[in-house]
């Protein structure tokens, strides 16, 4: 690939409990609150990013617990923003549980931070000489057209996320609404995610689909030389070895090492985004304890001092999972309970609850950069530098995080345990 492409889409579909195609797939009517979007506070964005990362590591660890020896990738920022839009309509104990699990990301107290973070990420696109760096962020609630949505909820969507609702008809034209949502996601992600919602995902009881989409297109600041890429051994967690295509690069990069780990950061053009890779001595033990604070210890230790000699594999991986069980297990089961969930902040016309949370993500890394996409569907149903070169050879399992450098927000987070299993 000549240019890096990343795309993330996050979906929340909200329907009431219970189990023909549009004549024309014209864009749905958009109804937006008159409330203006709040001004962004850069300091608040940094606080929100820290909460996003903490939440991201929580559900990441829970997700990989079922198969810790597998490759994985998720999008913390996208999951957090979409769930924050849903949290804006939660009330009572449902809201309390969501705040505890989500580190208050969707609460009124964190509203300024989430708004600022969303706007900060939207501002990263720029042209640097002959290179274009693109990071787009879009939020689009797709709502049942004749539902009595609470004005306070519509105001919150406009003020915090810059989003108006797109009116569709799930009751009589579920398939048409599904295709409209898929078309919007495909457009926002440069066709990286052409069908977020499979046939049958929605039904006539769907009432609201909250979608967040992230798209990034950025090349490395310094490309790897493809001519020096060679086959090399990579040791998996079980001790077996596979042959991977190993890339190599030398030069001045931010790097650090601590008790039981080494890390290096590879910036993209413009130095607004970077890929941070962490090589633990004991991968299972390190990942089991990896959280927002531990990651911040790594990034706070990064310093550009001395030369780095880096070897790492080309790799690609994909994760598909339902996060509903994971999120409920983390401490927010009420949101998924059809009898007790309280989303009356959205509407009092009928009860709503989250049915499932479907997340898909993929990432590919090569000599030119990184290509990735992610989609999540939430269905709600009626260090000091060492002497000499810093040598880091990623020839055994490692952690990677693509993050925004100014706020620290993690856009993609994953682990690579077998680069030949893409």
pLDDT in tens, 173-205: 999 999 998 899 888 888 878 888 888 888 898
Rg (CA), the chain: 21
- Rounded to whole angstroms, how far apart are CA atoms 101 and 334? 12
Residue with more model confidence, 20 or 119: 119
Domain topology for 226-315+385-416: Alpha-1-antitrypsin; domain 1 (2.30.39)
Q: Is 185 helix (H, G, I), strand (E, B) or coil?
A: helix
- Rounded to whole angstroms, how far apart are CA atoms 286 and 269? 30
Residue 138 structure tokens: 């879009």
- Rounded to whole angstroms, how far apart are CA atoms 105 and 94? 14
Say what the alpha-carbon torsion angle 108, 29, 184, 382 is, to the nearest 10 degrees.
60
Whether 162 has a pLDDT exceeding 70, the answer reads: yes
Domain extents for the chain? 5-219+316-380, 226-315+385-416
**Range scoring the smallest mean pLDDT among 22-31, 107-116, 239-248:** 22-31
The mean pLDDT of 57-79, rounded to a whole number, is 92
Question: What pLDDT score was predicted for residue 205?
Answer: 87
Residue 207 structure tokens: 């009432």
Confidence of residue 377 (pLDDT cuts 50, 70, 90): low
CATH of region 5-219+316-380, choose from 3.40.1080.10, 3.30.420.40, 3.30.497.10, 3.80.10.10: 3.30.497.10
- Which among 377, 372, 374, 378 has a CA at the least distance from the CA of 361? 374
**Range scoring the smallest mean pLDDT among 1-10, 120-129, 337-346:** 1-10
Helix-then-strand count for the chain, H and E: 9, 19
- Rounded to whole angstroms, how far apart are CA atoms 154 and 165? 8
Say what the alpha-carbon torsion angle 39, 44, 50, 54 is, to the nearest 10 degrees.
-70
Q: What is the pTM of this model?
A: 0.89
Residue with more model confidence, 397 or 376: 397
Confidence of residue 271 (pLDDT cuts 50, 70, 90): very high
Whether 412 has a pLDDT exceeding 60, the answer reads: yes
For 185-222, b/e burial (b = at least 16 CB within 10 A) is: bbebbeebbeebbeeebbbbbbbbbbbbbbbbbbbbbe
- Rounded to whole angstroms, how far apart are CA atoms 87 and 302? 35
How would you classify the pairing of strands 230-235 and 29-31? unpaired
For 325, residues 6+ apart whose C-beta sits below 8 A from its C-beta are none
Question: What pLDDT score was predicted for residue 194?
Answer: 85
Cβ–Cβ under 8 Å, residues 367 and 235: no
Question: What pLDDT score was predicted for residue 20?
Answer: 37
Give the total residue count for the chain: 422
Residues of the chain with pLDDT > 90, as a percent, come to: 55
Confidence of residue 32 (pLDDT cuts 50, 70, 90): confident
Residue with more model confidence, 126 or 22: 126
- Rounded to whole angstroms, how far apart are CA atoms 340 and 333? 10
The mean pLDDT of 92-101, rounded to a whole number, is 98
For 286, residues 6+ apart whose C-beta sits below 8 A from its C-beta are 260, 261, 278, 280, 399
Whether 8 has a pLDDT exceeding 70, the answer reads: no
Confidence of residue 422 (pLDDT cuts 50, 70, 90): low
């Amino acid at each position: 690939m000549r240019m890096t492409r990343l795309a993330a889409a996050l979906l929340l579909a909200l329907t009431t409990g219970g189990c023909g195609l549009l004549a024309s797939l014209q864009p749905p009517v958009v109804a937006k609150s008159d409330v203006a979007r709040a001004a962004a506070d850069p300091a608040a964005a940094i606080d929100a990013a820290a909460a996003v990362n903490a939440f991201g590591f929580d559900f990441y660890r829970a997700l990989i617990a079922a198969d810790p020896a597998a490759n994985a990738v998720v999008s913390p920022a996208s999951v957090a923003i979409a769930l924050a839009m849903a949290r804006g309509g939660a009330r009572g104990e449902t809201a309390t549980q969501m705040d505890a699990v989500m580190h208050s990301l969707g609460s009124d107290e964190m509203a300024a931070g989430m708004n600022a973070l969303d706007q900060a990420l939207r501002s990263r696109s720029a042209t640097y000489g002959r290179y274009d760096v693109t990071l787009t962020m879009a939020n689009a609630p797709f709502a049942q057209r004749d539902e009595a949505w609470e004005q306070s909820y519509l105001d919150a969507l406009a003020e915090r996320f810059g989003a108006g609702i797109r009116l569709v008809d799930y009751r009589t034209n579920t398939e048409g609404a599904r295709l409209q949502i898929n078309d919007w996601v495909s457009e926002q992600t440069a066709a990286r995610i052409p069908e977020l919602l499979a046939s049958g995902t929605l039904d006539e009881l769907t009432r609201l689909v909250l979608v967040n989409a992230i798209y990034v297109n950025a090349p490395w600041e310094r490309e790897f030389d493809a001519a020096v890429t060679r086959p090399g051994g990579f040791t998996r967690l079980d001790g077996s070895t596979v042959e991977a295509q190993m890339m190599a690069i030398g030069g001045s990069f931010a790097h650090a090492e601590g008790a039981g780990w080494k890390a290096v950061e590879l910036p993209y053009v413009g130095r607004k985004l970077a890929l941070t890779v962490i090589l633990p001595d004991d991968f299972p033990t390190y990942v089991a304890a990896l959280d927002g604070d531990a990651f911040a210890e790594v990034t706070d230790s990064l310093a550009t001092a001395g030369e780095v000699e880096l070897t790492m594999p080309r790799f690609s991986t994909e994760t598909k999972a339902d996060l509903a069980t994971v999120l409920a297990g983390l401490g927010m089961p009420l949101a998924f309970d059809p009898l007790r969930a309280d989303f009356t902040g959205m509407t009092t016309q009928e009860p709503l609850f989250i049915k499932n949370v479907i997340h898909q993500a993929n990432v590919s890394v090569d000599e030119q950069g990184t290509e990735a996409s992610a989609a999540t569907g939430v269905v709600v149903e009626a260090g000091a530098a060492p002497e000499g070169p810093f040598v880091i050879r990623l020839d055994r399992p490692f952690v990677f995080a693509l993050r925004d450098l100014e706020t620290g927000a993690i856009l993609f987070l994953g682990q690579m345990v077998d680069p030949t299993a893409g």
